[in-house]
Amino acid sequence: MKKERFEAFTDAVIAIILTILVLELHLPEDDHSWMAILDVRMKFFAYVLTFIFIATMWVNHHYLFAQVKQINGQIIWVNILLLFWTSLLPATTAWLGTDIHSVAASTLYNVNVLLFNITTAYLRRLVIKTNPIHDMHMLLIGELVSFSLNFITLIVSFFYPPFPFIGLSLNIMIWAVVGLRGRITV
């Protein structure tokens, strides 16, 4: 498969996922007051954070594959697995936004983000093995901090279910900084 077709497929799937993400955001139909808007603020906040998380992944995915000369079947299938975890984010985001105090919703969302990050790290390793990339220092620091944060968020959310909002915000900042400092990817 040509790299351009692979990238176009990924871009299309991410665009669809972002569309589904916003479709899960249901605004009040009968009540148009500010109080009604405040009632859905957690859903909106969950949507915004997840949108930024996916957008950060997409930008960093673009930078990663801009450096790639060739892809193989293993890279394609791991990328499809990454898209699978990404496609679950609208559902887990909607559930978390509906009940931010639910340990089950928080855990499922955190596991979704963790599996997304593990798959992303594995995809990066495959790409780097096939296409050497220069500055690995920032990437390794970013991965270490990100995985540590993922596990801490998962554990803390058992005691304080809204914690994924904090953990995801920090994770987004980590990868935005790593991406900006060295154009190293998520």
Give the start-to-end residue ranges of the domains of the chain.
3-182
Over the chain, what is the mean pLDDT? Answer: 86
Among the listed ranges 43-52, 83-92, 135-144, which one has the minimum average pLDDT value?
135-144
Residues 114 and 152: beta-carbon distance below 8 Å:
no
Determine the residue type at 145: V
The model's pLDDT over 2-35, given as tens digits with 9 standing for 90+, comes to 888 999 999 999 999 999 999 988 777 787 778 8
Q: Tell me how far apart the alpha carbons of residues 94 and 106 are, in angstroms, rounded to a whole number.
A: 11
Q: Out of 20-29, 88-97, 169-178, pick the least confident.
A: 169-178
d(CA 136, CA 184): 8
3-state secondary structure of 46: helix
pLDDT of amino acid 135? 60
